[in-house]
Structure 1
Amino acid sequence: MTAAASICLLRTSAIGDVTHVVPLVRTLQRAWPHASLTWIIGKLERRLVDDLPGVEFVTFDKTAGWAGMRAVHAALRGRRFDALLQMQVAMRSNLLSLGIKADRRVGYDHARSKDLHGLVINERIPARSGEHVLDAIGSFSEPLGTRQTQVRWDIPIPEEACAWAAEQLPGDVPTLLVSPTSSHALRNWRPERYAAVMNHAAARGWRVALVGGPSSGERAMADAVLAHCQRKPLDLTGKDTLKRLLAVLSRAQLLLTPDSGPMHMANAVGTKVLGLHAASNPERSGPYSDRRWCVNKYDEAARRFLGKPASEIPWGSKIEKPGVMDLIGVDETIERYEAAAQDMRLF
C-alpha cells in the first residue's frame, strides 16, 4: 500500500491515552521517515509531548466549546491530509474531525464505535477483542500498510525538569511515589489505606513522596493522606509540571496509584507501577509493560456489582460504583510492594 505523505492524528485526551499514542508516532516515523505528522491534541496534554521531534501540534481547547473547534479548523484551513487517524470516539471529537479534510479517514471497528463515529470515517482498524488500549491505538498503523511491532516512548525530558527532580529526590535512596488521585473519583482508594502502605514503606527504609496536580481535589486528597501518615512523606503535590513529573517518576523505583495518567507516564519512563484496579480492567488499561505488581480486583468487582464474572461483560467495561475500590485491601497491596522490592533486590 502506498505510504501516506501527510498524516493527521486526532487524539486530544487524556494524559494516559496520549502516552499510548507516542509509540504509534514512533512506528509511523520509522515506517515513513519523510511523512509529515500533525497531531491535534488537548491543551494540557500538549505540555507532555510537544517537544516530540518531527511532529506538528495543533492545540484543541475543549473548554472553549465551538470556538475551540473553529480555532482548530482555522489552523488547518486550506490543508488536506492523505490520512486522518481518528483515535477518539467521543461526540466532541467526531464533530471536531468534520472540519479536517483527508482522503482516508481511519477509525475504530464497529464494536468500539459510538457517538456517530462511523459517519466521520471511511476505513476501520481491525476488529479485535481483549486488546490493551495501547495496542488498539497502535493498530491504526495497519490500514496504512505497516504494523506496530515494537513499543518505544522516549518522551523528551528537559534538563531543567531533571535538575528539579534531582533536587527533590537526591541520591539513590529507594523511592516510593504515591499519586493518589484519579480524574475519576470512584477509582480513588481511601486516604488511610494509601497512608498505611506509605507507613510500611517508610519503615522499610524507603523514601516516600506524594505527587499530584494543583487542583483543589488533588490537594484535598493529599491532605487527607498526610493526616494518616505516621512518618511525613515529601509532599510534591501541585509543585511540578508534567515534564517535571516525568523526571520525578524516572528517579523512583515504584509508583502507587489508581488507574490514572501518572500510571502510564511512569510506565513510559520504565518505572514499576503498583496499580490499584477494581473499577477498571488492568489488562485493558493498566501499565502496559509490566502488570505483575498491580492489585487486580476487577473480576471480583464484576461479580459483586454486576452479578457476573469479568469474562462475561463487554471488554473495557468500567465498574465505577461507590465502594468498588474498597475491595482492595491494605495487606495485599503491601504484599505487591514487597514483591516488587524483592524483584528489584532492594531488600
Structure 2
Amino acid sequence: MSQKRAAQSAGFGAAGKRWRRNNRRRFNRFLARLLGTPEARRRPLAPDTRRILVVRLNKRLGNILFLTPMLRSLAATLPEARIDVVIQSPAQARLLQSLPGIGRIWIQENRVLAVLRLLRNLRAQRYDLVIDPTGNSASNRIGVALVRTRQRMGFAKTDQWLPLTHASGKTKSRHQALQAVELLTGSISEPPVTTFDTLAVFPDADDQRAADARWQAVLGARAHGAPVIGFFSRATGRKALPRHWWQAWILEVRRTVPQAVLLEILPSEDAAPVVPEIAHVAIKPLTELAALMSRLDQFVAADSGPMHLAAASGTPVIGLFRATLPSDYAPLGQDCETVDGDGLKPEHVAARLSERLARRERAHPRFSGLRS
C-alpha cells in the first residue's frame, strides 16, 4: 500500500471513529433526556443498606487502586455493610480483598459464556446499592444497569442515561480517586460520610513474610543502615522516560547519595534492568510486591501502576510526569510529590531525592553519609 493510500485509509478510520463517537454521544443524551439523570440527586441512603456492589470494569492497576479511598470511605461510613466489587483482572483481586468491609471480588472475563454466567450470578444477588465510581465508562454503566438493586449511584451528566437514585454533580478534583470519594459526599446526605484521600492496600502476614524473604535474598546486608531507593523505569507510551535518562539519574544518585542502595522493580523476570549490576527484582503477586515496596525509603517512577502501588503501600514517592497531568494522576500517599516540565532532568530529580532523604534523616535519624 502506497503512503498516499495508507494516509487516506488512516484518515477514513479516524473519521469513522469520530462519527461513531458523536453518534454515541447523541444517543446517550437522547436516553438521558428520556430516562436518565442529568442533574445531581443528594439523598439519604436507605437505612438498611447492607449489600453494596461497585462496578469497575477496567484492567489497569492504577485505575483499580483509585478505588481504594472510596472503598475505605464506604466501609467506615457503613461498617455493617458488605462491599462486593466487579473488576476484570484476577491478579488485582487480593489487593482489594485486603481492605476492610470487602466481600467478594467478581471477575469479568472476556469470554461470552463467562460474561453471561457472571451476569446470572450477579442478578441472583440481593444488592441494596450499586455504584458506578466513574463518569465516563460505558461498560460500568451497562454493568450497573443490568444488576438488580434498590439504589443506584453515579455521576449526573447530560449524557447519563442511567436512572440513578443517588447522583453527584461536578466534582472539585480532577483526580479519579478523589472524584470517587466526592461521588459519595455529593450524593449521600445521610449518614455523614467518613472520607479517605490516599490510596491504601494492606498485605497480610504471608505476603509480609514472602516479601521479607525476597528482600533478604536480593539485598542482604547491603540494606542494613542504608536508605534503599526503589525505582521503576518502565511506563506505557509517551509516559515512559528513555533508558539513557534513567542511566543518567542513577549516576546522579550515586554522586549525591553515595550510601544509598538502589533497587529496580522489573515488570517481569525476563525484563532487562537499566544497569545490570544494580539489585533488581520482579514479583508477580501484587500484594507481595506491595509488601516489599513498603520497606523502601523512597520510590521513583513515571506515571504507572507500580508508582500508584508504591503510594498505596505507604512508601514516599516521587512521580515523574512527562505526558499526563499530575492533577489527574498524582500518587496519593504519605509524603508523595510530582515532578514535571523543566523539573524532569535527571540531576534535578536526584537532588529532590537527596533533599527528601536528608529531611527524613533529620526527623528520624537512621542513615549516615547523606549529602544535603
Q: TM-score range by the shorter chain?
A: 0.7 to 0.9
Q: 8 Å contact 2:86–2:107 — kept in the other structure?
A: yes
1:127 deviation in Å? 0.9
Secondary structure of the residue aligned to 1:110 is coil
* TM-score, normalised with respect to structure 2: 0.73
| Count, aligned residues | 302
Q: Which amino acid aligns with 2:237?
A: A
Q: 8 Å contact 2:240–2:322 — kept in the other structure?
A: no
1:173 deviation in Å? 2.7
Other-structure match for 1:294: 338
1:153 deviation in Å? 5.8
Other-structure match for 1:342: 358
| Structure index of larger Rg | 2
1:89-100 alignment, distance < 5 Å: 89-100=136-147
Q: Identify which range, 239-248 or 159-168, moves more after superposition.
A: 159-168
Q: Which amino acid aligns with 1:25?
A: L
Q: 8 Å contact 1:209–1:234 — kept in the other structure?
A: yes
- Mapped to 2, the partners of 1:58 and 1:52 lie a distance apart of 12
Q: Which amino acid aligns with 2:260?
A: W
Counterpart among 143, 168, 180 of residue 233 in structure 2: 180
- Mapped to 2, the partners of 1:152 and 1:105 lie a distance apart of 25
1:12-23 alignment, distance < 5 Å: 12-13=57-58, 14-23=60-69
1:72 deviation in Å? 2.2
- Mapped to 2, the partners of 1:205 and 1:164 lie a distance apart of 26
Q: Which has the higher contact order (CA 8 A, sep 6+)?
A: 2
Q: 8 Å contact 2:181–2:195 — kept in the other structure?
A: no
* TM-score, normalised with respect to structure 1: 0.77
Secondary structure of the residue aligned to 1:27 is helix
Q: Which amino acid aligns with 1:265?
A: L
Other-structure match for 1:58: 105
Answer yes or no: is 1:212 the counterpart of 2:263. Answer: no
Counterpart among 88, 102, 105 of residue 149 in structure 2: 102
Q: Which runs of 5+ in 2 are unaligned?
A: 1-43, 217-223, 362-366
1:79 deviation in Å? 2.5
1:139 deviation in Å? 1.9
Backbone CA RMSD of aligned residues = 2.6
Structure 1 residues 18 and 201: CA distance shift in structure 2, 3 A: same
Q: Which amino acid aligns with 2:327?
A: E
1:192-341 alignment, distance < 5 Å: 192-203=244-255, 204-214=258-268, 219=271, 222-223=272-273, 225-226=274-275, 232-237=277-282, 239-289=283-333, 293-297=337-341, 328-341=344-357
Q: What percentage of aligned pairs have identical amino acids?
A: 17
Q: Identify which range, 140-149 or 5-14, moves more after superposition.
A: 140-149
1:70 deviation in Å? 1.8
